[in-house]
Amino acid sequence: MDLPVERWAAYARRRWASLEPCLQRKLSLAVPLRDTFLLCVPLFQAAEEEFLHRLAARNCVGKDPRAALFYKEEGNKSFHKEEYTAALRLYSKAVSHNSPEMSLCYANRSAALFHLGHFEDCLEDIDRAEAQGYPNRLQPKILLRKTECLLLLGRLEEAAGVISKVESKIAMDQSLTSTTRQILLRKISQLKVKAHEKESSPESVPEALSKTQKDLEFWEENGKISSAFSSVSLNFNSCRGRHLVATKDILPGESLVKEEAFVSVLSPGKSLLLQDSAETTWDSRVTNGDLHCHRCLKRLLASVPCRGCSYAKYCSKKCAQLAWEHYHSTECPLGALLLTLGVFSHVALRTVLVAGFAEVSSLVKQFHGDDKELHKAEARGKSQDETRDSTADMEGLSEKAEPLIRDCEDDGQYRGSYQAVFNLLTHAEKHSPEHKFLCSLSIVAICKKLQEADLTILSQGSCESQSRLKAHVLTSAELSPELQILGEAMLRHMLQLHCNAQAVTSIRESESGASVVTESEQVRLATALFPVTSLLNHSCDPNTSVTFSGTVVTVRASQPIPRGQEIVHCYGPHRCRMGAAERRQRLLCQYFFECRCQACLDELGSNVTGTAATGDIFCCSSCHASMQGEDVLRCSSGACTLLVGRDYLLRQLWDLQLQVQTALGLLKDKQPNQAVELLMRCRLDAENFLSAEHMLVGKIEDHLAQGYATLGKWQEAARHLRCSIQIVEARHGPSSVETGHELFKLAQILFNGFAVSEALCTIQRAETVLSVHCGPQNAQVQELQEMRACLLELPRSLLHRVE
C-alpha cells in the first residue's frame, strides 16, 4: 500500500539486476540524492513506461457512464431491501461517474438519506438533482420529499412554499393519470395536516450543541514550537538528537501537541476495480476511498465527486475546490499511476505541490550550497560528525546563549513548515541500493508524466524559464531543470517517509446495526507528515498516546511525566505486544536504530522473553502447561511427556480462526443463535491447545458477548466480555486504550441489562481510561456520560439494587 505494487517492485528488482556492475556501483556510491535521481532518469525507458501503463490501466479511476448505471441499479436493489446505508454508498459511487442519469442518482441518494434521518443532506441532494435536470414528470416526487424534510427540520414557511409549487405542477401536468394525481393530492393533504400540527404546537428547537468554555481545551501557546503546548520544550544532544522534554509535571490526559498534517494522502484500502478481460465489471465493495473525504479525512455521508476522476471524493464543495486548487488539478490525470506507485510516491508528489515550486526550489538550492560547504569543511579535516558534536557541545552554554537547534528558523522557533519537512532525515546511506533504485524509478515515472502536462502548474515559472523551455526541445530521456529539482525533492520525501510517515488511524464502528453493543475496529485511514510530532523519539513503553481527528493529531500524556523527562511515543513495536529481541529487530529494519529504551534494557538484563509472548503460546492438551521448542514442541511440565509438531498446531490454529470468522459472518447476517453455538464449540477447541491468554481466545469471548447481547441475554454477555477484558488487560495493560474500548462495551451491556451499580462503576472506569487517551470530547466518552446521567435519574431504590 505504502510502497509500489509488487509487480512494479519485482520489475524494478529485475531491472536493477540487469544493470552493468559498474553502473550498479555508481548508483550505490551516489551520495547526493540529486546524483542518484539524475542517474536513473535515462534508465526509465519505453519498456518501463509501457509496463507501468499496463499496470496503471487496471485501476479504474476514470468516469464511465456504464459504471454509473451499474451502481445505480445495485443501489436500487439495496434500497428495495431497506438496506439504506448500502444503497447510499452505491449511489455515491454512481454520482462519481458522468452519466445522463446523474439527476436520478442524486434523487435516489436523497431518498436513502431521508430514510437514514439525514434531512439536511437529503435537501442538498434534491437541489443537486434539480440542478442536473431532474425530469419534470418526476418533480412532484422529490418536492414532496423536500417538504417532509423541511417540516421535520421545523422550517414551516419554506415547506408551505414547496407545497404550493407542487400543487401548481400537478395542476399544470396533463400527463398525470387520475390515480397518480389522487395519490399525490392525498400526500399533499397529509403534509398540510402535519404543517398545521407543527404550527399549532411548535416544538422547542433543541439548542445547537456547542462546547462550553470548560469543555474547550485550554491552549497556552508555546513560543518555541508551533502546535505544541507550553508544557513542552525542544532539546538536542548528540545521543538523542532533537527531542521533546516536559517543562513541568504533566498529568495523564494532558495534551502536549495538537498538529495539523502538513500533507496527508488517503490510503485506498483494498484494490479498486481490477480488470483483466475485455468484459468490464465494477467493484461494489466499500473502501476507505468511499468512506472518507480525500482532503480532510472526515467521514463521508453524501460525497461530492471530483470533476475529473471517479476516485477522489469530498465531504463538501469547499474541500473539493481547495483540493483542486492546491494539488488535485495536477494529480487528477495521474490517479491510476499514483495508485500503482503507492501512497509514499503520492505523498512525495503532494508535498511538493502543497509547498509550491518556489519554496521547493529555494530549499533544494540552499541544500546544495550547504552540501558544498560541508565538503569544504571535510577537505579541511572537519567531519560532519564533528560539526554535529560542536553543535551538541553548545548545550553547555548558558541559557542566555540559547543556540539554535537544527531546523529552527531564524527567530529560534520550530514550525511545522515545509522547511521542517524538507530537513527530516532521509537515512539515504542506510537504504539498500535496490530500494533507492525502486524509489528513484517511481519518481522519474511521475516526473515524465508531469512533463507531458503544462509546466506552468509546477514551475510558477518566470518568463526566462518559459523561454528557455521553448528554445530547448527536450528528448524523451531528459527532464526540464524544474522537474529535476522537483524530482530530487520528491525522492528525498519518499525516503524520509520510511522513518517519518505517520499512519493516521480511526476507530470505525460496525454499520450492521445487528447489536446494541458497539463493535469497532481500528483502521488505517491515511499516511501523513507531521513535522512537530516527528520530533518524538521512540520508546517501547511510551508515556504518550496518539489520536487523530481527521488530519489533526493530538498527543496526550498517558501517564504522569515529571518535569525534565523526555516525552516519547511508540513507533509500533510495543513491550505489551512482543518481546525485546523482536522489537529491536523490527526497529532496526525500519528505523535504522537499535532500541535502548528502558523497557528493552530491563527486559534484556533480566532475560525476560516479553509479556506479549505469553499471550500467543500453545498449551499442552493434557495438563495445560505451556509448550516449548522450535519445530517440535515439548510440554514444559516435568510430569508430562507430550510432543507435538509446530506445523500441526499452526494448522489447528488456522482452522480455528476460519471457524471464528464464519461465526462472525453469522452474527453480521443476524443469526446470533447459530453464531453462539459455533463460538461455544470454538471455545472448547481453543482450550485444548491455546493458552488462556491467547488473543484468539479473547476474540472468541468478545464475539460470544456480542452474540448474547444481540439475543438480549445481558448477564451471559457480560460474563464473556469480562473474560475478554482479562486477556486484553494482560496483553495491553489495565490503563491502555484497548482496555478502555472493551470497558466501554461492558458498560453498554450492563446499562442495557439494568445492572445499575456495576454499570456505574464500569462507566467511571471506562471514562477515566478513554479520557486520558482520547480526550473529553471523544464520542465514546460522551456516550458514557449520557449513560451515567440516565442511570442517576432512576429512583434511589433502583440505584442501590444488587444485581
Q: Write the pLDDT tens digit of every residue in 753-786.
A: 989 899 999 999 999 999 999 988 888 999 999 9
Average pLDDT over residues 78-98: 93
pLDDT over 60 at 386, yes or no: no
Q: Measuring CA to CA, which residue among 429, 435, 348 is closest to residue 16? A: 435
pLDDT over 80 at 212, yes or no: no
Per-residue confidence (pLDDT) for residue 277, from 0 to 100: 36
Per-residue confidence (pLDDT) for residue 731, from 0 to 100: 83
pTM: 0.85
SS3 525: strand
- Per the CB < 8 A criterion, the answer to whether 412 and 404 are in contact is yes
Q: Write the pLDDT tens digit of every residue in 575-604.
A: 887 888 889 999 999 899 899 998 888 888
The three cell numbers locating residue 253: 490526559
Q: Measuring CA to CA, which residue among 102, 94, 72, 96 is closest to residue 305? A: 96
Q: Regarding predicted confidence, which is higher, 67 or 477?
A: 67
Q: Write the pLDDT tens digit of every residue in 299-331.
A: 999 999 999 999 999 999 999 999 999 999 999
Q: Write the pLDDT tens digit of every residue in 547-583.
A: 999 999 999 999 999 999 999 999 888 888 788 888 9
Candidate CATH numbers 3.30.300.30, 1.25.40.10, 3.20.20.70, 3.40.50.720; the one for domain 660-798: 1.25.40.10
What is the C-alpha to C-alpha distance for residues 64 and 96, in angstroms, rounded to an integer?
A: 9
What is the C-alpha to C-alpha distance for residues 573 and 591, in angstroms, rounded to an integer?
A: 11
What is the C-alpha to C-alpha distance for residues 465 and 463, in angstroms, rounded to an integer?
A: 5
Q: Measuring CA to CA, which residue among 328, 311, 295, 323 is closest to residue 61? A: 311
Task: Work out the pLDDT band at 470, boundaries 50, 70, 90.
Answer: very low
Per-residue confidence (pLDDT) for residue 4, from 0 to 100: 77
Per-residue confidence (pLDDT) for residue 453, from 0 to 100: 79
Q: Percent of the chain beyond pLDDT 70?
A: 83
Task: Work out the pLDDT band at 491, boundaries 50, 70, 90.
Answer: very high
Q: Measuring CA to CA, which residue among 56, 706, 127, 106 is closest to residue 339? A: 56
pLDDT over 50 at 146, yes or no: yes
SS3 547: strand
pLDDT over 80 at 216, yes or no: no
Per-residue confidence (pLDDT) for residue 371, from 0 to 100: 62
Q: Write the pLDDT tens digit of every residue in 232-285.
A: 999 988 888 889 999 999 999 999 999 999 999 999 875 443 333 334 467 778
Q: Regarding predicted confidence, which is higher, 700 or 274?
A: 700
Task: Work out the pLDDT band at 678, boundaries 50, 70, 90.
Answer: very high
Task: Work out the pLDDT band at 116, boundaries 50, 70, 90.
Answer: very high
pLDDT over 80 at 795, yes or no: no
Q: Percent of the chain beyond pLDDT 90?
A: 53
Per-residue confidence (pLDDT) for residue 435, from 0 to 100: 94
Per-residue confidence (pLDDT) for residue 281, from 0 to 100: 63
Q: Regarding predicted confidence, which is higher, 110 or 388?
A: 110
End-to-end CA distance of the chain: 50
Average pLDDT over residues 339-346: 94
Per-residue confidence (pLDDT) for residue 200, from 0 to 100: 61
Please, what is the angle between helix 481-500 and helix 33-40, to 10°? Answer: 120
pLDDT over 90 at 659, yes or no: yes
Per-residue confidence (pLDDT) for residue 641, from 0 to 100: 79
Average pLDDT over residues 529-541: 93
| Average confidence score pLDDT of the chain | 83
- 292 φ, ψ to 5°? -135, 145
Q: Regarding predicted confidence, which is higher, 392 or 645?
A: 645
- Hunting for cell 509496463 — which residue is that? 51
Per-residue confidence (pLDDT) for residue 348, from 0 to 100: 97
Per-residue confidence (pLDDT) for residue 278, from 0 to 100: 39
Task: Work out the pLDDT band at 112, boundaries 50, 70, 90.
Answer: very high
Q: Residue 234 belongs to what H/E stretch?
A: strand 232-237
Average pLDDT over residues 123-127: 95
Per-residue confidence (pLDDT) for residue 376, from 0 to 100: 54
Per-residue confidence (pLDDT) for residue 510, from 0 to 100: 65
- Per the CB < 8 A criterion, the answer to whether 345 and 443 are in contact is yes
Parallel, antiparallel, or unpaired: how do β-strands 568-569 and 537-538 relate?
parallel
Highest mean pLDDT, choosing among 3-12, 190-199, 293-302, 467-476? 293-302
pLDDT over 50 at 196, yes or no: yes
pLDDT over 60 at 607, yes or no: no
Per-residue confidence (pLDDT) for residue 511, from 0 to 100: 57
Per-residue confidence (pLDDT) for residue 88, from 0 to 100: 94
Per-residue confidence (pLDDT) for residue 205, from 0 to 100: 43
Which of 69-73, 216-220, 346-350 comes out lowest in average pLDDT?
A: 216-220
Q: Write the pLDDT tens digit of every residue in 705-717.
A: 999 999 999 999 9
The three cell numbers locating residue 152: 421535520
Q: Write the pLDDT tens digit of every residue in 401-445.
A: 345 577 777 777 888 899 999 999 999 999 999 999 999 999 999
